Chains A and B, each alone.
Chain A
Amino acid sequence: GAGVSQSPSNKVTEKGKDVELRCDPISGHTALYWYRQSLGQGLEFLIYFQGNSAPDKSGLPSDRFSAERTGGSVSTLTIQRTQQEDSAVYLCASRLRDGSSTDTQYFGPGTRLTVL
């Protein structure tokens, strides 16, 4: 079956511009996560959606970052007024349900963002 998909796969933008990154989770998965992977560093948690509950935004690095999830499915991560330090690979993952730490998160291929 189809896995998690993300678009675009690569995005090059100029400093100060806004960008939108899209994630299509696996159908039926209620939990969705965004992570950031910077060069030479591990993965950094950004935001988490679970069903219709309010998202956990505790990992967002600044108020320039926001995300929404429409209809409990597709999610968009928006970065406003991009800075060079925002350059990273942004990964989306989905999980069937919350309530069990044994559920596996399935990752998309990521969007590589380069801010010039």
Chain B
Amino acid sequence: AQSVTQLDSHVSVSEGTPVLLRCNYSSSYSPSLFWYVQHPNKGLQLLLKYTSAATLVKGINGFEAEFKKSETSFHLTKPSAHMSDAAEYFCVVSGFSGSARQLTFGSGTQLTVLP
């Protein structure tokens, strides 16, 4: 069994300040972890993924995430928020459900960027 918990349903930051979106996971296997972003009325877009090659993963648009096995965390960060970062962010773990390999999504974190 696997699960993902996004600790904040809403995060609000000022433009130019750091962003931290928190994610904790549980998995019976060595997990693959992803962050997806969904802008209003748009599809899900992959930001970055962890696949055990390196614990610090860099993604698109200046985002990065660090896999910490001891803390079962995969928090998403960005040094300086931009207005265009306002969106909903999903932390995702890849695993098994019976015969299917599927993604388990967190409930999402809505990021608001204030001018």
Q: Which residues of A contact B (CB under 8 A)?
A: 3-4, 31, 33, 35, 41-43, 45, 48, 50, 53, 56, 58-59, 91, 93, 98, 101-102, 104-110
Report if B115 contacts A (CB, 8 A): no
A41: B residues at CB distance < 8 A: 107
Expressed in whole angstroms, the Cα–Cα distance for A10 and B51 within the complex equals 35
B residues 24-44 near A (Cβ < 8 Å) are 29, 31-32, 34, 36, 42-44
Report if B56 contacts A (CB, 8 A): no
One of A4, A45, A53, A108 near B103 (C-beta < 8 A): A45
Assess whether A91 is in contact with B100, with CB atoms less than 8 Å apart.
Answer: no
B32: A residues at CB distance < 8 A: 101-102
Expressed in whole angstroms, the Cα–Cα distance for A98 and B102 within the complex equals 10
Shortest Cβ distance from residue B37 to the other chain A in the assembled complex, whole angstroms: 11
- Number of chain B residues whose Cβ lies closer than 8 Å to a Cβ of chain A: 27
One of A33, A50, A109 near B42 (C-beta < 8 A): A109
B43: A residues at CB distance < 8 A: 3-4, 91, 107-110
Expressed in whole angstroms, the Cα–Cα distance for A108 and B97 within the complex equals 22
Shortest Cβ distance from residue A90 to the other chain B in the assembled complex, whole angstroms: 12
One of A33, A53, A91 near B102 (C-beta < 8 A): A33
A43: B residues at CB distance < 8 A: 90, 103, 105
Shortest Cβ distance from residue A62 to the other chain B in the assembled complex, whole angstroms: 18
A106 nearest CB neighbor, chain B only: B46
Shortest Cβ distance from residue A55 to the other chain B in the assembled complex, whole angstroms: 8
